Every structure is written in structure tokens, then in C-alpha cells.
Amino acid sequence: MSPRNQQKPTTKSSAVPTAALRPKRQLHQIAANVLRLAKDRGIQETEVHIEESIEALTRFANNTIHQHVAEQGLVVSLRTSVDGRTARVTTNRIEEDALRAALEDSLSLASHQPKDPQLLPMPGKQKYRAVRRFHVATAALTAEERARAVKNACQLAERRGQVAAGIFSSGQGQSVLVNSRGLATAYRQTHSAFSVTMQQDSATSWAKASAADVRRFDPLRLAKIASEKAARARNPVELAPGKFTVILEPAAVLDLVGLLFYDFAATAVADKRSCLSGRIGKPVFGENVTISDDVYHPEQLGAPFDGEGIPRQRVVLVDRGVVKSLVYSRRSAKQVGIKPTGHGFALPNEYGEAPLNLVVAGGNTSLEEMVASTDRGLLVTRLWYIREVDPYEKIMTGMTRDGLFLVEKGKIAHAVRNFRFNQSVLEMLRNVQCLGPAGHAAGEEASEMVAPPMKICNFNFSEVTKF
Amino acid sequence: MWDYCGHSLEVARLRGATYADVRLMHLRQRDLTTKSGRVGRLAQSESIGLGIRVVAHGAWGFASTDQLTREGIAACAAQAVAIAKSSALAKKENVRLAPEGSYLDSWQGPCLEDPFEIPLESQLDLLLAADEAIRKVKGVTLSETDMQFRKIDSWFASSGGSKIHQRRVISGCGIVATVFKDDSIQKRSYPNSFGGQHVLGGYELIESMDLLQHAPRIAEEAVELHSAPQCPGKIGTLILGGSQLGLQIHESIGHPIELDRVLGQEANFAGTSFLTLDKLHHLRYASPIVNVVADARISHGPGLGSFAYDDEGVPAQCIDVIKDGEFHGYLSSRETAHLIGLPRSGGAMRTEGWNRLPMIRMTNVSLLPGPWTFENLIADTDDAILMETNRSWSIDDRRYQFQFSTEIAWEIRGGKKTRMLKHPSYSGITTEFWNSCDAICSADHWVLWGTPNCGKGQPMQVMGTGHGASPARFRNVKFGAAFSNQ
């Protein structure tokens, strides 16, 4: 491969225009090219999924920007299906020769496998409910604007004798999904996030927000929250591990409850690897716990269709503690004779489906009220390195991080050294005493979701660390 | 490819960059899985693009593109310089890079049989046969197998004059038997959990693993675990199998020695490290029999951390990390080397792909073998628990307190391996744990394990790392905290 022409490099203006997504028609044109090539080749069924993204991230630590990146890319992922055999090939080369080669590779992969009698024909045309998640203000955000916001956070830290670290990211993306049976859909969104850790002496705290519209959060306000909590987090006292009443901020709830998501997949239940195997229809959680999957919720992000282009449905997974429903791909739905819920992964795959837009219903107890009503407990800012210890009891282990505080007699008393927990999420959600208002929660472990703060009794901390 | 690289460097220079390096990468990947007798994932992908990293106004900028035209590359290089200039808005001091030579080289990692040239039927036939062998064992409720292959070509060029082409082929495979019974799920994996074993090499790895021979064994063990007693909660002697010890090294030595963590650059996400700079050459990290190296040279073995040059053009090196128990060295980069008094980088800057910035990553962080045969180690042990194959792993954000659970364990009594135990787990504080090591098995039992899924950075990068280990014994270890609430 060699450059297409031999122009001399330009030395003109240093201004770089903000990157922009291609017009949607260009993506449709690429998809149409693939379908045409596939038809010419006599391929029975073809699916084309094109994704384009523009991402940028400003990263800071020690009160300075140390990494600052931007990327732009387009990926064509195509699937052919012939005589009950299917395979996927993905490329970021869009020249006709490359697309033709990808089709041939897909055919070759598909033809060298046993026939799958349960493989369904590709779906036809669908009806979609529109969502609007593209905000020009986010798409137009420049490196310099992110750098200035970061500078403000770093200056705040310096004024307070603290050290700031974090990220300010923004991006935009679009996708087009079509198949040879007439299905066609498209989606685009923007996203942005500001995450900040403030350190004072050896104490740290953290705050994060994310949204499709960058104007929904104020980076400096988040920096102030983290800064004030870091100041309070100094001189932590070591407590003996044991069972505590905990007040989990939304990020901590997200990181625990969010890791339940695959358990709600019909395929996981059929494979007997879900903690809900044998528990459907039963009161697994407390009566104050209701969980749904709802891509249309105004606080959610994500496309309103699944990996095969089936429209996503709102599904009530847990209703007042009782496991009511699972999510289904076309394949898993057919196996039990119901309609798919629009949660399937792109085919072929072994995992089936999953809810990716969890919404945990909130209550009306504010975080402050939770603290005020607690005689002795722990306020948890954030959790870290959460892993599954036991898949059926859903015991998760992990650490508290960036601000753990003892609450005594309705007030925050002092900081506490971080604990390790080993806690069943099922049991935890039976021990919820009260919930706060639900909102878009951003953590670092599980996917973003809508979650409230929670006050929970008998949360099991097994060991303590050195800070 | 070199024309693209040269063009991007030239545009960066003309735009005001005082340093630039560029990585043009072509990544190919094939994934095969089966589940309960049918093909699961069958996918192939390729990605080609270019990323350029520059210093301008004394600050860093990075941009990447998949538009491999002169216009696309020029725009990308110009964007990197513009980003660097905006980074300078929140700069404290100018970027300073340790000196490094310039190299013109082309290197290819070991690969006897190109996995992309092996007929797909034979790959699938092997996986389906292993899948079937697992399911033949009564009681198995889920059988899974996988193979993964990657071929990575990278063309690195820098304004310092280096031009380096490297090709690395990576192969991996694994099988898993799962048994759901009586409200409990037990699982056994081979040759390792979470995707199996991965090495720098070709299809010869798959053939050497002999999946068919091990499939019935792991299935029988998964069934038997349901009737095994619970691993007790107590303080006692622990013997770790090699693959679990590899992950223990990864979490409690490999990550703490990353100098970017130590310097606070990962404070917001991956965390920092207890190994502050004052501890270099002043910390008894482990017992005197423990020697750990970070060795990226191919002579160390075909590990996921083996290469000829890192992603800022520094030749592969061997770093003494722990020598006779003392802490000796960090993983470093050209930017951080001077902070610990090094004249040059330790060569640990690695990138996931063309669209990611290189960052300090583990290479092959390995525990050097000791003198024991495994049989003698067991015979020498009166009362212990032998744990194998990771099931969960977690450690705090400064790398002090850890907890691991494994798929299976056995009691060692009177120098003999006795009954099987389920739900094994152990926990501890990093330096206390490593200082309790009193026996390490020999090179005959040493395997360079591959960890293909190490996540770090924002945006997240997934990197493969290598960890050589042979079984080893640790005293006064806490067992059972993971199930302390049951």
C-alpha cells in the first residue's frame, strides 16, 4: 500500500477543524455496496452493520494534562448466512475490494462449520421508536475547551493543597444496520464524561458524571464535590470488619447491581449459569426493589435496536422484589414461543442477549435523610475491583475506595480505612431499608444505568486494608 | 507503510512538533467458540490505521485515523499537534524524554504454524470434539471451548530516526466444564480459566495443549466438586499452582511496579501503588528465595509480553524487579526513567492498537524457578491447601490487600495430596504474603502463562502480559474470607 498522491505536506494554518461524522447517506451507501456485492455473489442472506465514531479524551494527573488523545474510525461488520450456517467478518477498510474480500471470508468461515438447525432467517423490516441523543454542543466540544475545564479543576486543587486526576471525554457516533431482507435502521448519539479524583495528603475522593449532552454537568462543581470529600477523608480510622448498615451512593449501587445484568438473559438461565435459574416468579429481592430495562428512559443512552436490528422493548425484570421476566433474543424467544424483547447480541454468539439499559426504581429518601436516620453505619462513595466469587448466590467481592465515612447518630463522624466486602447481591437487595431518587449513575466498573442511592443493612465487610 | 509514517512525521514537524512517533498497525483476529455442542462465535476481524504521538509546546498530543491517505494522515498529524498545544494550557513542565538510539529493524516473533492458514474445519473439529468429551461426563450442564488468534503487524517510526517493523502472532485456547446442581454452580477450566492459555506463537500451542485428553478430567472434577467439603476458614499453609501464582504475580507485583501508577498518573481509574519511590532498593518485598524479573526478551520465552522493541522504539530488556527478596526496579518509559535515576527507559511502553496511546504495561513479569520438584514440595508439607485455577481476583487500588478464589483445591496431609475442597479462597497483604514464601518449584514445572485481558488506561486498553511461574508454598495465609458471610 502506498500514498495515493505525492502532494507536499502543507504548512498553512495551525487551526484544525472539529472532526465531523460522515453524512448518514454515506454509511447507507457503503451498506448498499455490500448488499449489492453479496447479491452478485449469490449469497442467500447478508447483514451489514456500520459504526463510525469520533472520540476524544483529555486525561490529567498531578494537576496537569499528561495524556490527550483523539481518534476517528469506521468499522464495517458483515454477516452472511447460507444454508443454516453463519459467520461474521469485521473490517475498517471500505474499498470495494476489501468489502468483497470480507464477504468471501465470511462465506468461507460460514461454509466450514456444521449446519445449525436453530439458525433463524434474518429479520425483515421493523418499526422503531425514535430517540434523540445527539447534541451539537457535545459534538463540537474542542480539545482546548476540555483542557480549559481541566485547568480549572487543577487550579482548584492547587488552591486547596490537593492533587487532581481524571478525565474529560467527549465523542459522537453513528451506526447503520441493514440486511438483505429489507431491515434498515440507524442511530446516532453523543456522549461525554468528567471524572475527577482529588487527593489531599494520602486521602482521596472522587466524583463523576456522564451525559449525552455535555451541558448537563459542570466539571468544576464535580471537582469541588471531590475536593470537599477528600478533605473530609483525611486521617481515616481503622475499624474492625463485620456487618454494617451502609449508605451506598449511586455509583456504588450501579457497580454492584449493574453486574447482575447478564443474569437476566434467557440464554444464561437456559444454560443454568444465571443466579436466577429456578428463581423466576419468586420473591428474590425485597419488596422495595423494582428493576426494568428501558432504553427509552430519558436518562439512558444507547440504540433502540439490538444486534439483529430488533426494536428494544421496555421489560420489567423485577417487580416489587419478584423476578418477573427475562430478556430474549430472537433465538431464545423462539425456543420458548414468545416474541423477542430486542436484547440480542450481534450474531453469531454464544451468550444470546442481555439488558444493557437497567433502571432501578428509586424512592424519596434523600442521601442526607439516610445519613440523618442512621445510628451507626458507613457512607460509601465508590467501589472498586468487583469480581464474582459465587455465581449462584451472586457473592461479589471488591473494595471501597475514594471516601468511606463512619456515620454515627445521624452525622458523618470521620473517615474510615477501606474495607473488602464479600456480599451476596441477592441478599443485599433483600436488605434495602430505603432508596433515594434515581438518576443517571456513572461508575467505573459496570455499564452506566439509572440507579438511586440505597441504605442497606447487614452488608458484609470481611477485611480491612492499610489506607 | 513507511511512506505513511514518514509523511505523518513530516507534517507533525512542520506544524511545530519537537518530537513525534507514529505507529501504523494492521491487526487481524479470529475467534472461535463452541457451547454445548454447537458453534458459538465464529468471527474474524481486521483493523488498520495509524496513530501519531507528538510533543509540541512541551506537552503531549495524540491522534489516530483509519483514513490512510496523504490527506487523512496529514489531518491526523495536524490534529495531534493542535491537541498538544491545547495540553500546554494545563502544563507544569516540559515533557522530557530519556535518550534512546535509533534503530532500523524488522522482527518477527515465533510462529511455527500460522493459525490463519490452518483449515477452519480442523480448528472447529477439535473444539467440538473437546466440547463433546466434556458433555459425555454425566452431570455436566454446560460445556464451552474457545480458540483465539491474533496477528499484529506494526510499523514504528520516530522523529529520532527509528524505523521498526514487528510481527507478533498470538494464539490461545481453553475449555470449560460447568455443573449446576443443588443450587450451586461449579466450574473447571483447562489449561487456565478466562480463555485458557495464550502465548506468542502459532497453532503449535493449540496442538501442545492436548485439549481432548484433559476434557473428561475437568468435567469429572466439576461434578465431584459438588460433593466436596467446603474449604475451611483458617490461617494455614498454601501451595499455589502455577497459573494462579501467575495471576498473583500480575496483581501484587506486576501492577505495583508500573511507574505511571507510582507517579499518580492512574489515580483516577486503575489506581496508584504502595511502591512509592522511597521504597526502591529499600523494601524487603519478599522472602530471600524470591526473584522476579520483567523480561520482554524473546529469550525469556514466547510470552504475551515478549517483543523486540516496545511501542516507543526501545529495545526489549530484562529488569530485575525483586532480587533475593529486595525490591529492585520499576517498569518505566522514556518519560519516567529519569525520575528514578535511570539513564534510559526500561522499555515497557505498549499499545493495544493504532488508535491508542502507548502506556507503561507489564511485559513478562515472572517468578524465577527455585530448586524444588513438585513431588518433593508436597512430600515436605505436613498440612496445607493446594489451590489451582483462578476463579476470582480483586485487589485494592494501591495494591496492598488482595483476595483470590480458585476453582478447586486439595488438602495436603502428611506429605500427601488428599481430599478435594470446594470454594477455596485466600487473602492477604502483598508484602506479608510474598515474605511468607518458603519454597518454589523448579524450572521443570515453570510455565510462562499468558494473561490476555489486562485492562488499564482511559480510554481503556486491553493488553496481554506474560507471567512465568512454578508452584510455590506460602506460610500463615488466611483462607476462606470470600465465603465468610455464608
Q: Is A385 near chain B, with CB under 8 Å?
A: yes
> CA A203 to CA A231: how far, in whole Å?
7
CATH topology for B2-225 is PmbA/TldD fold (3.30.2290)
How much is the pLDDT for A14?
46
Among A14, A69, A93, whose Cβ lies nearest the Cβ of B15? Answer: A14
**B182 touching chain A per CB within 8 A:** no
- Mutate: best of B230, B273, B397, partner A, most A CBs <10 A: B397
Q: Does A384 touch chain B (CB under 8 A)?
A: yes
Whether residue A446 is found in the same domain as residue A304: yes
Identify which of B40, B46, B478 has the shortest CB distance to residue A348.
B40
Question: Is 80 exceeded by the pLDDT of residue B371?
Answer: yes
Q: Are residues A251 and A362 part of one domain? A: yes
CB contact B186 to A (< 8 Å)? no
Q: Which three cell numbers stand for residue A252?
A: 456504588
pLDDT of A6:
40
For the stretch B38-58, pLDDT in tens is: 999 999 999 999 999 999 999
Are A375 and A253 in a shared domain?
yes
Cα–Cα nearest to A113, from B277, B299, B40: B40
Residue B298's Cα: distance from chain center in Å?
A: 15
Mode of pairing for the β-strands spanning B437-440 and B425-429: unpaired
pLDDT of residue B415: 98
Q: Which residues pair with A73 in a beta bridge?
A: A53
Restricting to B residues 274-293, those with a Cβ less than 8 Å away from any Cβ of A are 274
Counting as low any pLDDT under 50, the low residues of chain A are: 1-14
Residues 306-335 of A with CB under 8 A from B: none
Q: Count chain A–chain B contacts defined by CB atoms under 8 A.
A: 321
Integer Cα distance of A200 and B291 in angstroms = 35
State how far the Cα of A392 lies from the Cα of A388, in Å rounded to an integer: 10
Look up cell 428509586; give the residue. A362
pLDDT at position A18 is 66
Give the integer Cα–Cα distance in Å for A353 and A125: 21
The answer for residues whose C-beta is within 8 angstroms of residue B445's C-beta and 6 or more apart is: B242, B369, B373, B374, B470, B471
Helices A219-232 and A143-159, axial angle in degrees (round to 10): 30
Evaluate whether A386 touches B396 at the Cβ level (below 8 Å): no
Question: B217 CB contacts (<8 Å, ≥6 apart)?
Answer: B190
Averaged pLDDT, B423-435: 98
CA pair distance A332, A339, nearest whole angstrom: 9
Interface test with B, best of A91, A148, A463, A464 (most B CBs within 10 A): A463
Q: Is residue A10 part of a domain?
A: no
Task: Note whether residue A8 is domain-resident.
Answer: no
Q: What are the boundaries of each domain within chain B? A: 2-225, 235-483
List the single residue in A with minimal CA-CA distance to B405: A389
Write down the pLDDT at residue A11: 40
On whether both A240 and A181 belong to a single domain, the answer is no
CA-to-CA distance for B298 and B294, rounded, in angstroms? 12
Report the Cα–Cα distance between both ends of chain A, in Å, rounded: 54
pLDDT reported for residue A5: 40
Torsion (CA) A200, A204, A209, A215 in degrees, nearest 10: 0
Grid look-up 522482527 returns B107
Cβ contacts (< 8 Å) between B14 and chain A: which residues? 9-11
Report d(CA B140, CA A144) in Å as an integer.
57
- Give B-chain residues touching A351 at CB under 8 angstroms: 40
Q: Are residues A61 and A191 in the same domain?
A: yes
Answer whether the bond into residue A340 is a cis peptide, omega within 30°: no
The yes-or-no verdict on residue B486 having pLDDT over 90 is: no
Q: What Å distances lie between residue A94 and A1, A97, A110, B4, CA to CA?
A: 14, 8, 21, 18
- What are the beta bridge partners of residue B167? B108, B153
Q: Tell me whether residue A125 is in a domain.
A: yes
The per-residue pLDDT for B484 is 80
User: B145 has which bridge partners?
Assistant: B34, B175
> Total domain count for chain A?
2
Residue A6, chain B, CB below 8 Å: the answer is yes
CB contact at 8 A, B427 and B481: yes
Residue A218 lies in a domain: no
In a domain, residue A286? The reply is: yes
Q: Is residue A228 part of a domain?
A: no
What ipTM is given for this predicted complex?
A: 0.95
Domain that holds residue A147: 24-151+165-195
Closest by Cβ to A401, choosing from B16, B397, B482:
B397
Query: Which chain B residues are closer than 8 Å to A143 by Cβ?
Result: 61, 82-83, 86-87
Gap from A386 CA to chain B (nearest CA, Å): 7
Is the Cβ pair A271, B128 closer than 8 Å? no
* Cβ contacts of A71 on chain B, cutoff 8 Å: 51, 63-65, 355
Whether residue B298 is predicted with pLDDT greater than 70 in this model: the reply is yes
- Does B194 contact chain A (CB < 8 Å)? no
CA distance B381 to B120: 47
- Cα B102 to Cα B20, B158, B161, distances in angstroms: 13, 8, 5
Give B 35-74 residues with CB within 8 A of chain A: 35-36, 38-49, 51, 59-70, 73-74
Q: How far apart are CA B350 and CA B306, in angstroms?
A: 11
Q: Is residue A123 part of a domain?
A: yes
The letter for the amino acid at A417 is: R
Q: Chain A 196-215, CB below 8 Å of chain B: which residues?
A: 196-197, 199, 204, 206
Phi first, then psi: what are they for B485, rounded to 5°? Answer: -100, 5
Q: Is residue A63 part of a domain?
A: yes
Contact B215, B134 (CB under 8 A): yes
What is the number of other CB atoms lying within 10 angstroms of the CB of residue A268?
24
Q: Given an 8 Å threshold on Cβ–Cβ distance, is B264 in contact with A163?
A: yes
Look-up of cell digits 524505523? B163
Task: Please check whether residue A114 is in contact with residue A373, taking contact to mean a CB–CB distance below 8 angstroms.
Answer: no
Task: Say how far apart CA B437 and CA B290 lie, in whole Å.
Answer: 8
In terms of domains, do A265 and A330 share one? yes
Say yes or no for a CB contact (<8 Å) between B92 and A64: yes
Does residue B96 have a pLDDT over 50? yes
Please tell me the distance in Å from B35's CA to the nearest CA on chain A: 7
Nearest CB to A87: which of B42, B49, B391?
B42
Residues paired with B331 in a beta bridge:
B258
